[in-house]
């Protein structure tokens, strides 16, 4: 394991941190979505696939690692967009205080999940601007 992590720089560790946060977000969404009856498979797939791409940076180098980082950011961003789209009814009911299509009680949890997903996207984006490995 030590040989795999030799020569890694700050961008790798930032991206790995984003992958870990993405995995945590995936499990949080899994728990929330299944308990509230609002689970959607594409959101979970984007979160877990993005985390998998982040963890693949341990073994990838060069252009493949660059493509993996771009894919990770894209998947996390897609998950955030899909989750926001999925939350519209709950937010409309929450802000209007009228129960129509959504569930007002889900809105605070959705705000928290959006904050965690946004942090995941921003950290992954930040990691893409730093070097991930030393030049050999």
3-class SS at 128? coil
Lowest mean pLDDT among 54-68, 95-109, 116-130: 95-109
Please indicate, yes or no, whether the overall pTM of this predicted structure exceeds 0.85: yes
User: Is 2 part of any domain?
Assistant: no
Please identify which residue in the block is written with the tokens 């979970």: 44
Which pLDDT score, from 0 to 100, does residue 2 have? 60
Is residue 1 pLDDT above 70, yes or no? no
User: Is 119 part of any domain?
Assistant: yes
Condensed to tens digits (0 to 9), the pLDDT of residues 11-50 reads 888 989 999 999 999 999 999 999 988 899 999 999 999 9
How large is the angle between the packed helices 63-96 and 107-127, nearest 10 degrees?
160
Distance CA 63, CA 20 (A): 22
- For the chain, how many structural domains are there in total? 1
Distance CA 91, CA 105 (A): 10
Condensed to tens digits (0 to 9), the pLDDT of residues 74-110 reads 999 999 999 999 888 888 888 887 777 777 788 889 9
User: Is 134 part of any domain?
Assistant: no
Which residue range(s) make up the domain with 107? 15-127
User: Is 136 part of any domain?
Assistant: no
User: Is 101 part of any domain?
Assistant: yes
Residue 87: both structure tokens together: 């939350």
User: Is 7 part of any domain?
Assistant: no
């Amino acid at each position: 394991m030590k040989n795999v992590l030799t020569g890694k720089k700050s961008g790798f560790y930032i991206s790995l941190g984003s992958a870990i946060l993405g995995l945590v977000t995936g499990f949080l969404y899994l728990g929330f979505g299944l308990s509230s009856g609002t689970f959607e498979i594409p959101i979970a797939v984007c979160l877990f696939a993005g985390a998998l791409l982040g963890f693949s940076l341990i073994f990838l180098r060069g252009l493949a690692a660059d493509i993996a980082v771009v894919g990770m950011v894209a998947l996390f961003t897609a998950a955030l967009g899909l989750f926001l789209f999925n939350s519209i009814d709950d937010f409309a009911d929450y802000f209007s205080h009228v129960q129509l299509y959504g569930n007002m009680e889900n809105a605070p949890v959705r705000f928290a999940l959006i904050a965690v997903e946004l942090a995941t996207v921003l950290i992954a984006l930040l990691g893409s601007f730093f070097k991930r490995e030393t030049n050999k």
